[in-house]
Amino acid sequence: MELQQGGSPAAEPDEVVVTLREFTPSDADAEALMSWASDPLVARFQRRDAYEHVDQARRYIADHVLPHPWYRAICAGAVVVGSVSVKPAPAEDGRLFRASVGYRVARAHWGRGVATRAVRAAAEAVFAAWPWLLRLEAVADVENPASQRVLEKAGFVREGTLRKYIVLKGRPRDMVMFSLVDTDRRRQPVESNGP
């Protein structure tokens, strides 16, 4: 399934169209994944270190991406430049009402609104596909203001800082929690276009 923001004004001449599609077990998708997975600056705020070999990307796609409930390639034009995933997060009693979103984009596409448009499209898609979904949440490292801006521009609300919320590469990290709830979307629709 391919998604594109609908009902939006025409893109600016230098603004690339962002779409989402499912990953495939192809060599092309593994090579594309390497464009961000092998970059230490992209991996800085990820749980894993930068990949060194395309075989790592192939294994990651086979073992994690393909069986994932909602994991999509971010395409800028026809080129895969990142990924966005949404994972259901069951409550303590097992009920489903929330999910968490994560994203990564190749450095060559930072600062162009690609991540913001991808997160918006992912939010629209999962709220439409999962009628049980009331809350979509994301965390961004306190030292990653660019990721925080992506979430804010995508319509998420900053809720606060979670101190020592995760251990990342052996170090406890403070994270900023963001959310987008179903009533936010009804009151104030998420814009479809723009950075």
pLDDT per residue as tens digits for the range 59-118: 999 999 999 999 999 999 999 999 999 999 988 888 899 999 999 999 999 999 999 999
Q: How far apart are CA 15 and CA 67, in angstroms?
A: 32
**Would the pLDDT of 133 be above 60?**
yes
Residue type, 65: V
Residue 85, beta-bridge partner list: 71, 102
> With contact defined as beta carbons under 8 Å apart, do 168 and 47 qualify?
yes
Domain carrying residue 100: 3-137
179 inside domain: no
H/E element, 54 = helix 54-60
Secondary structure (3-state) at 26: coil
- Whether this prediction's pTM lies above 0.75 is answered by yes
84 inside domain: yes
CATH code for position 60:
3.40.630.30
Count of CA atoms in the C-beta half-sphere (13 A) of 67 = 5
User: What is the residue-averaged pLDDT of the chain?
Assistant: 88
Q: What is the pLDDT of residues 153-178, one digit of tens each?
A: 999 999 999 999 999 999 999 999 99
187 inside domain: no
Q: How far apart are CA 84 and CA 187, in angstroms?
A: 25
Both structure tokens of 22: 């499912």
The number of domains in the chain is 1
Q: What is the pLDDT of residues 10-48, one digit of tens each?
A: 445 467 899 999 999 999 999 999 999 999 999 888 888
Q: Is the dihedral of CA 156, 160, 162, 163 positive or negative?
A: positive
Q: Please report, for residues 143, 145, 147, the alpha-carbon distance to residue 110 in angstroms, rounded to integers and kept in the order given.
A: 16, 13, 10
- When pLDDT is averaged across residues 141-158 and rounded to a whole number, the result is 97
Closest CA to 121 of 4, 2, 1: 4
192 inside domain: no
27 inside domain: yes
9 inside domain: yes
Q: How far apart are CA 99 and CA 87, in angstroms?
A: 5
191 inside domain: no
The per-residue pLDDT for 183 is: 86
148 inside domain: no
Both structure tokens of 116: 């913001």
